[in-house]
Copies of this chain bind each other. A is one copy, B any other.
Amino acid sequence: MSSLNNIMDSQVLQAFFTYATVVVLKMMLMSPLTSYFRLTRKVFANLEDTKLASPTVDKKLVRVDPHVERVRRCHQNDLENVILFVLIGLLYSLTGPELSTALLHFRLFTGSRIFHTISYVGALPQPSRFLSFILGLLVTFSMACRVLCTTVL
């Protein structure tokens, strides 16, 4: 277990573990949020699910609702961005960056994704959502460049 203890001794990895878990927990919230909208608005994707909101199976409840679709698009955007952050962030943390630089990356990303969710679900005027999305993408891009520079050069 000595090598594992050494891994957890790295302050960068410890910081990465914290921020990666926070941003993943935020993303995990999207599933119950979708379920909440589906149940309160009685909008379902599967015929067998309609029994959760109606005494009998009801074909009319299998439909598309703009509020549910908005939450689902936000979840999909998380999938496309948060997971890449966690993957690239792990490789980045293992290349041994400066703690202050790493913290800047992790905090900017976590903040940008929390703001992205607020501006998406709350339908804030653009370009608030666009800017938070771009910021997150640039942070991941910057970490990917660092990984490539360390391994290729």
**Taking beta carbons and an 8 Å cutoff, which residues of A are in contact with B?**
1-10, 13-15, 17-18, 20-22, 24-25, 27-28, 30-32, 45-49, 51-52, 70, 73, 75, 79-81, 83-84, 86-88, 90-91, 94-96, 123-127, 129-130, 133, 137, 140-141, 144, 147-148, 150-152
Contact residues in B for A90 (Cβ distance below 8 Å): 90
Q: In the bound complex, how far is the Cα of B7 from the Cα of A4, in angstroms?
A: 7
Q: In the bound complex, how far is the Cα of B150 from the Cα of A105, in angstroms?
A: 21
The residue in A3, A47, A124 that gathers the most chain B C-beta atoms within 10 A of its C-beta is A3
The residue in A17, A70, A73 that gathers the most chain B C-beta atoms within 10 A of its C-beta is A17
A interface, over-half SS: helix
- Asked if residues B151 and A88 are in contact (CB atoms below 8 Å), the reply is no
CB distance from A29 to the nearest CB of B (A): 10
Q: In the bound complex, how far is the Cα of B15 from the Cα of A48, in angstroms?
A: 36
Q: In the bound complex, how far is the Cα of B91 from the Cα of A22, in angstroms?
A: 12
- Asked if residues B94 and A87 are in contact (CB atoms below 8 Å), the reply is no
Contact residues in B for A96 (Cβ distance below 8 Å): 1, 4-5, 8
- A74's closest neighbor in chain B, by CB? B46
Q: In the bound complex, how far is the Cα of B151 from the Cα of A14, in angstroms?
A: 6
